[in-house]
A and B are shown apart, each in its own frame.
Chain A
Amino acid sequence: MTAPDEPLDGLDHAILAGVKDMWRQADPVPADLLDRIKFAIDLETVDLEVMRLTELARPAATRGDEQSRLITFDSETVTIMVSIRQNPDGTIRVDGWLTPAGRHPIELRTAGGTAATVSDEDGRFVLDPVCSGLVQLIVRPTGTTRTVTTPSISL
């Protein structure tokens, strides 16, 4: 051990390493924290509106389990609902419905790149296959300059 103003010695380093180990065990850094931060700061847009997320519970009024997750995203201008299910090969299929109905460009950002599609005139779209991991949907509603994005979600 050393006095406060002396340089750290071997024992100090050992104690600090012990403290580090203890915290690493007691309260580890989430494995995907770094990825989440990087993922979030990659997106830079001026007129950006982030949507509110609601994950819909299994409806009590059906006679079975959901084979998919259903999430809605709301904003002032746009509502999106997506159904997320796993394909037999382990990839993910995203089915989506968007209001106001119409042909709007949609992007799906993933860590590995961006997939793009356009909803049909009824506001229906599909992204398949998608790799599991963090993703974010970005919609640029036709006829506006605005960009609407969902919070990043984990597939």
Chain B
Amino acid sequence: MTRLDRVSALHRRGLNALNRGRPLLAVRAFRDGLRIAPDDVRLLNSLAAAEAALGNTGQGFLLLDRADALATPATKGLLLQQRGLLLVLVGRMDDALVCLDRAIGLLRDDPTVLARTLLNRAMLHQIAGRVRAALGDLERCERLGRDLGLDRLVAKAIHGRGSCQLLAGNIPAALRDFDQARRVYESHADGMLPVVAVERARALLAAGLHSDAATELDYALDRFPRTRMDQEHAEALLTRAQVALAADDLTTAKTWASRAETRFRRRGNETWAAVAAATKVRAEFGSGNRLGVVAARASALAARLAELGLDNDAEATGLVAARAYLARGRVDEARGHIRPRSGPRSLLETRLTRRLALAELSAVTGNSRAIFTHARAGLALLRDHRGRAGSLDLRTSTTSLGRELARAGLAAALANGSPPVVFGWLERSRAQAFRFQQVRPPDDDDTIEAVAELRQLAHQVRTAELAGTPDADARRRCAQLERAIRARGWHAEGTGEHSADATFSQVRAALGETTMVSYASGDGGLWALVITSARAQLVPLGSLATVSESLAKLHSDLDASCGRQLPAALDRVIKASIRRRLAALTDDLIRPIRPLLGDSAVVIIPTSALSAVPWGLLPDMAGRPVTVSPSASTWLAGRGAELARPSGCLLVAGPDLAHADDEVLRLAKIYGDGAVLLGADATVKSTLDALDGCTTAHFAAHGHHEWENVLFSRLDLSDGPLMAYDIHQLRSAPAHVVLSSCDVGQTVVRNGDEILGFTAALLYSGTKTVVSSVASVDDDAAVDVMAAYHRGLLRGLRPARALADATLIQPLMPFVCFGSS
């Protein structure tokens, strides 16, 4: 091997390591090369890049100075682009842009370096919020990369495009790009995997999925020390701080932000250090101590960020100052820190914070009309943003800003006390995911395969559990598949179209003889807005915490006693506890509104923990038709569907239950026709096929509500689980579904009373009425109740009336009629 061959082999090896995200290995190779050829401009240039990647930017600049003195016209562009990149890394963005612009003009004959330079300039544009310019460079880079067959570079261009999508607020598109880049990195650049994980974390954070973001970051933070990517590592620390901040874990947020700030300082990156400091000041504001100091600090920092050219961060930090001044009652200083309008490149989060600050300012100055205006404008922004996501997982998750905006509006409405105003705010701030056109989850081959594998493994897990020999490996693999399927769902984009909220007068006109009770919570308190066609009244109730604790106890009581022969003395204790809890719930939720209820049918709109109330067990509700709906708008939209005389009936019995077959056969006799799936015939496929197009479906099966991964809440069928996920795939869901199973009437309630669960999945997919249980169901006792229920339907009763009559024959049946009836 000649001297020249050795040098170029070492150079290649180093570049390869660098591109794979292994700068330490790269430095070693370049130094070895320079020992043989000390004046090689390209080696000096590459070493500068590797040193910078390790955080030694000063060393990088020295190397470039040395190379400049040796440069020829052929290497001038190369060195300029490298200098530009180093300038980016130390936060000197304007100088960097000048270098890169000049380099791009000189690099026409060197397409590989040109493509890389375009990638870097795109990053520069992106940091400054110039999304369109960034996308232009990335597109050119991707095209060059494809022509040159440079997979890694193409992947990085796609990765960069994802970052731009994120800036533009399109989270599904961002996640799709990050996942596409990740697939290439997995085989070609494992050092880039933690980098793209941080980007995914940012997207998930923006979507409000904090714990998923934290999982991504934990992976990245574990990997960075090995690859020694210092800037990215510091950014990951900062993002971790932002995740903790979003999750209200302020102490942790401060710790991570301090660590990030120290690391940026050490790198000489004052720009990023200022961003880290801004995150810390947000955490300090959140903890609410020494707000005068916090306000002054945020104010100074906002000025500093503006100097550094970070307009969005400057505005956001100014708003922290404004809110801190407001909390101290210093209105003038606060007003001075809220811009008349957001900057052209301000992110959604900043725009929402501005609206929140203005709402808070209006609260301090007692201008309730302005509170409503600003909170409403903020929520409208948020709704547009949500409409861009197709998956319910993203649609039902909101950042804490959404919660605070809704709280500001609702608090002002409750203080105002006028029923139409309160009604408007309740509808505006709850169960918004129902307003959007539903999007079916992606059904590409990979996903279909993953779902098939999951179903088969879940069946295996369940069989093993029933046999008393749990299969830990299969269970782990199930969890892995569930994560992958869920993450794939995030890619779906929404159409943005949404239906309007129901108005107060529309709802009143539709109520007829029915009374609507819409529960509201705020600052720990609880209210009931009671509406009839003739009048409406806002009634203050007790505390939400008391009701939640009563409910938690009641659920434990019901679960412990259900389906068991307990010693008589113990059974008496449990029954006494159930009576006591029901009495307490009645006192807190019903007694204050009893005079308004009379004996009319009731529509209940629950809030937070109230979604789990087994309403039919409350003595006031026994024998009374009760319908529970996510919002008045959802209730109104579902009305008018003809349910009373079901046609096209499907009856399904799941395995491992003594009485499920009895139940289904009795119902078949009652109806005299309809499809029946029993025993081995009740497979997932046959059920899904039969569901498409039938109007009423009845399931007698084991049910499981999955708190942790609610998309996979399920009913057991003969060959595996029918999951909430499958329900989302249905082309048309039956108008009426009865789930004669445990627990699947429960929901996970996210901020803004957004709900997820098996019953919720049916409602989202277009089912008008779901009868399901919010607690355990006794296998034997369910049979008579369900037979009575369906006989009632055939006699022409509405579902809520039929259920009220049917449950009178059995005590403690926690079935609830959801949706409209």
Contacts and interface: CB of A to CB of B under 8 A. Distances in A.
Interface of A: 56, 59-68, 70, 72, 79, 81, 83, 85, 88, 93, 95, 97-101, 120, 122-124, 126
Interface in B702-717: 702-705, 707
A59 B569 contact: no
A101 to B, nearest CB: 5
Nearest to B779: A61
Nearest to B782: A63
Given A56-B564, A64-B776, A83 B553 contact: no
A60 B707 contact: no
Interface of B: 549, 552-553, 556-557, 559-560, 562-564, 566-567, 569-570, 572-574, 576-577, 580, 657-658, 660, 700-705, 707, 740-744, 776-780, 782
Contacts of B702: 63-65
B582 to A, nearest CB: 13
Contact of B570 (A63, A66, A79, A126): A79
Contacts of A59: 562-564
Contacts of A126: 549, 552-553
A64 B703 contact: yes
A124 B573 CA distance: 7
A124 B580 contact: yes
Given A61-B778, A63-B779, A95-B556, A101 B704 contact: no
B570 A62 contact: no
Contacts of B574: 97
A58 to B, nearest CB: 9
27 contacts: A56-B564, A59-B563, A61-B779, A61-B780, A62-B742, A63-B702, A63-B703, A63-B777, A64-B744, A65-B704, A79-B569, A81-B566, A85-B556, A95-B560, A97-B560, A97-B577, A99-B569, A99-B573, A101-B569, A101-B572, A122-B576, A122-B577, A123-B573, A123-B576, A124-B553, A124-B576, A124-B580
B570 A64 contact: no
B241 to A, nearest CB: 20
B564 A81 contact: no
B576 A72 contact: no
Nearest to B549: A126
Contacts, number: 106
A64 B777 contact: yes
A64 B777 CA distance: 8
B559 A67 contact: yes
**What are the 9 tightest A-B residue pairs by CB atom distance, in nearest-first order?**
A64-B742, A61-B563, A62-B563, A59-B563, A95-B556, A122-B576, A99-B569, A124-B577, A123-B573
Of residues A59, A61, A101, which shows the largest number of chain B Cβ atoms within 10 Å of its Cβ? Answer: A61
Contacts of B570: 72, 79, 81, 97, 99
Given A56-B564, A124-B553, A63 B569 contact: no
Given A95-B556, A97-B560, A124-B573, 11 more contacts: A59-B562, A60-B563, A62-B777, A63-B777, A72-B570, A88-B707, A99-B570, A101-B572, A122-B580, A123-B573, A126-B549
Nearest to A72: B570
Given A61-B780, A63-B702, A81 B559 contact: no
Contact of A95 (B553, B576, B777, B778): B553
B577 A63 contact: no
Contacts of B741: 63-64
A79 B566 CA distance: 11
Contacts of A60: 563, 658, 779
B552 A93 contact: yes
Contacts of B580: 120, 122, 124
Contacts of B703: 63-64
A68 B552 CA distance: 13
Nearest to A64: B742
Contacts of B549: 126
A77 to B, nearest CB: 12
B576 A101 contact: yes
A64 B553 contact: no
Contacts of B704: 64-65
Nearest to B744: A64
A59 B740 CA distance: 17
Contact of A100 (B557, B569, B705, B780): B569
A61 B742 CA distance: 11
A123 B566 CA distance: 15
Contact of A83 (B556, B700, B705, B743): B556
B577 A68 contact: no
Contacts of B576: 101, 122-124
B564 A63 contact: no
A83 B574 CA distance: 12
Contacts of A124: 553, 557, 573, 576-577, 580
B569 A68 contact: no
Contacts of B566: 81
Contacts of B552: 93, 95, 126
Nearest to B564: A59
Given A68-B556, A124-B580, A63 B573 contact: no
A123 B553 CA distance: 13
Nearest to A94: B556
Nearest to A70: B560
A29 B603 CA distance: 60
Contacts of A63: 657, 660, 700-703, 740-742, 776-779, 782
A59 to B, nearest CB: 4
A81 B570 CA distance: 8
Nearest to B780: A61
A65 B461 CA distance: 13
B707 A61 contact: no
Contact of A98 (B563, B573, B780): B573
A79 B567 contact: yes
A61 B567 CA distance: 17
B612 to A, nearest CB: 12
B798 to A, nearest CB: 25
B573 A97 contact: yes
Contacts of A93: 552
B560 A81 contact: yes
Of residues B549, B559, B572, B777, which shows the largest number of chain A Cβ atoms within 10 Å of its Cβ? Answer: B559
Contacts of B776: 62-64
A97 B575 CA distance: 11
B619 to A, nearest CB: 18
A61 B564 contact: yes
Contacts of B569: 79, 99-101
A56 B562 CA distance: 13
A124 B576 CA distance: 9
A67 B776 CA distance: 10
B779 A62 contact: yes
Nearest to B701: A63
Contacts of A122: 573, 576-577, 580
A73 B519 CA distance: 41
Contacts of A101: 569, 572-573, 576
B655 to A, nearest CB: 12
B725 to A, nearest CB: 18
